[in-house]
Amino acid sequence: MTYSVSTDTNMNTASKMDMWLVKPMFEKLMQKADIKINGTRPWDIQVHDESLYRNVLFHGSLGLGEAYVAGKWDAEELDQFFFKILRAKLDDSIVVFSAVQAIRNRLINTQTIRRSSVVGKKHYDISNKLYQAMLDKNMVYTCGHWEGAKDLDEAQENKLDMVCKKMGLRPGMSVLDIGCGWGSFLYYAAKNYGVKVVGVTISKEQAEFARAKCEGLPAQVLLRDYREIEGEFDRIVSLGMFEHVGYKNYKTFMKTASKLLKDDGLFLLHTIGHNISTKETDPWIEKYIFPNSMLPSMKQISSALENIFVVEDWHNFGVDYDKTLLAWYDNFARNWKHLKEDFDDDFYRLWKYYLLSCAGCFRARSNNLWQIVLSKKGILGGYHSFRSFE
């Protein structure tokens, strides 16, 4: 598979003439994060093509990412490079995003039922072979819970079991998984807790894989948008899907979940969250990884669930996503020899940049991972959550 990345690799005469200006500006920015151009420390940036400076100063994170995939720069520890960039808040210093994208997100609902399948085709349907090489044995594509875990498999089983315990699952219960991925939670909950599960996804590849995985269990997998679900359930979970809902649809999502949940039921929402309310996403992530995605803030989530749900528990374990992403990258890099027949070198650099930049982001605490337990009327006598495996 070939990924085309747009870069202006050949500087024109004007660009060369103003290099005396943009390079010092770039260097000054890097100094704020204790990063040196062509320095000797593992997080220092190694510049191979000086057009990088213009890419970043004129195109922000999109220019930085495209320049990396094009081979214009490297860093020995890419995750630590991004940790330093984000911890120093350099992203605030070079906030550049497309005016077209900003206007589009405000005027157009980019996460309608028709548009919702775009991310399925462009990201989740890339190749099951890729995800099998990268993820744990259960194919969980969300943050693991690492307390007491010795490896990725245990961290993901911890997370799945923690969700089941937070939901108080009992045999015979009906459970809906909105955004079921490759069926990891469906399989785990049905097998270990004796519940009847229904999963929905907008990815054809995920749906087929999940059906095969859950064969013989009381599990149904549907290929459809969450707004097309019917029925009534004792419990609802959504693990890593809310990032694709979009701010124009947060309230609709909550109303849909409430309609599908029994009055005495519980809903667990597991989502990446941002510290600041925004209506845009990172332009590089939007273009190359998760089209039409958007990270919610606490304020946006709280506003969406107001007068619909009662918050019973709000658990932040975003620091565990750093370790999860590093484990995914280690698997990806170790298994690249088996993947390179299907993907080119640009894809390797693109995927490496995606995984390690996100690891640095969570390490810097720019992003969070929230599990929020919600009820429709409030649990009489209070809700007792679950946290530790030690």
Residues that are catalytic: 358
**What is the residue whose two structure tokens read 């190749």?**
127
In this structure, the number of other CB atoms found within 10 A of the CB of residue 247 comes to 21
The burial of 294, by beta-carbon neighbours within 10 Å (0-12 exposed, 13-18 middle, 19 or more buried), is given as buried
Distance CA 275, CA 278 (A): 9
> 370 in helix, strand or coil?
strand
Beta strand pairing call for 233-239 and 174-178: parallel
Distance CA 227, CA 377 (A): 22
Q: Decide: 186 and 219 in contact? Cβ < 8 Å.
A: yes
Q: Decide: 68 and 353 in contact? Cβ < 8 Å.
A: yes
Tell me, rounded to whole angstroms, the distance of Cα 241 from its chain centroid: 9
Q: Decide: 244 and 271 in contact? Cβ < 8 Å.
A: no
Mutual orientation of helices 319-334 and 78-87 as an angle, nearest 10°?
150
CA dihedral 343, 346, 349, 353 (to 10 degrees): -100
Distance CA 4, CA 105 (A): 24
